[in-house]
Amino acid sequence: MSVVMCPCGSEKQFKLCCEPFLSGANKPRTVQQLMRSRYSAYALGGYGDYLLATWHPRTAPKVSAAYLSTVEQKWLGLTVLAHTQQGNTGTVEFTARYAEEDGAVHIHHEISRFVRINGHWLYVDAAPHPHK
């Protein structure tokens, strides 16, 4: 049996990292855990319900879970650059590499903002990147 590493780049086994969040067995306790698990959901596909459930209802897109479950790019890697968490708010700055269908590789750089409501972390939106 082969060991499946988590796509979030944590260097942990998937079953010990993001899988418990994606399956609903556990809830992320930190903004970094939520961000990494959301990256894994996008990278693996098939987790649109999880993406919608962890998106703040005020900012969530008006799309179906099936639409969010579709993998449009091939995700190549995640690097967490910084994270903050204080009280019920937090941010995670990261870069994510992905390839388009034509093979062109791009880097997505974002500072994600999160809020905790009733003990559950939710993705709110992406803050404007200061280096753009």
**What residue type is 2 in one-letter code?**
S
pLDDT of residue 17: 97
Give dist(CA 113, CA 125) in Å, integer: 5
> Which residue segments constitute the domains of the chain, with CATH numbers given?
14-127 (3.10.450.50)
pLDDT tens digits, 19-52:
999 999 999 999 999 999 999 999 999 999 999 9
Cα-to-chain-centroid distance, residue 39? 3
Quote the pLDDT of residue 68: 87
pLDDT tens digits, 86-115: 999 999 999 999 998 888 999 999 999 999
Does residue 132 carry a pLDDT above 60? Answer: no
Summarize the confidence of residues 114-127 as an average pLDDT.
96
Tokens representing 118? 């009733």
- The pLDDT > 90 percentage for the chain reads 82
For the residues of 80-124, what is the DSSP string, one character each? Answer: EEEEEEETTEEEEEEEEEEE-TT--EEEEEEEEEEEEETTEEEEE
Mean pLDDT across the chain: 93
